[in-house]
Amino acid sequence: MTVPKHDITRLAGLSDGDLIQEARSFAETIRGHRAFQNLQEHVPGADRFDTLSGILGTTSDAAKYGDKLKGVDRDNIREEILRSFTFACQHAVMMATYLNDPSLLNIGFEMQQRSYSKSSTTSLPGQPNKVKLSAGPKGSGFVFITVNKISGMGSVEVQYTENPNDESSWVSAERSYKCKIQLKLDLVKRYYIRVRYHNSAGYGPWSAVVDIVLG
């Protein structure tokens, strides 16, 4: 047995900024969509996506500048946005099936066929084995992190600290789908940085710790 399903797998690998744009664009798409009128509370609608994208913007900005608690909040909001996309797409499929109207499936994502007779598993990503740090223009505070790309890597999470021996001091920066990531940190300090991959199965192991002095 197969049923239609929207392909939203790429969303998990987006940066915070790109995910915010996707959520806002999706809100505009479904605002006047026939399948998303007079919704029950459990179905995420346009207003829900607008609200979540705003919260993600606030927590993402705070996390970039070292607020560790906001980093946790940011990750939770990302998961809630992705979950809302899943529920919204499922709702569109149910409405299209119930009303026998395939046009209701048009919500901005490609369709794929999902089979219940098959099962697939995703393995945890491996460990990054090449992490290169380079400083930006002198006095800018920017540091560029380049990570090797591997199959099934998903997104990349970066953490930094001034004291690598204190596990509680590590701060998560923005997760990115790209293998080159830019951070803005304070000058005249030595930073220790580590990265790991994340996919639908979870987090892989941390890379070896590398360090850089920003002058």
Residue ranges of domains in the chain? 2-115, 131-214
Residue-level pLDDT at 211: 96
- Residue 117 pLDDT > 50: no
Residue-level pLDDT at 116: 47
Q: Would you say 13 and 177 are in contact if contact means Cβ atoms under 8 Å apart?
A: yes
- Residue 139 pLDDT > 50: yes
The domain made up of 131-214 has a fold known as Immunoglobulin-like (2.60.40)
CA–CA dist 143, 173 (Å, integer): 12
Q: Which residue from 135, 132, 133, 147 is spatially nearest to 186, judged by alpha carbons?
A: 135
Q: Would you say 55 and 77 are in contact if contact means Cβ atoms under 8 Å apart?
A: yes
Of the given ranges (35-49, 68-82, 85-99, 135-149), which has the lowest mean pLDDT? 68-82
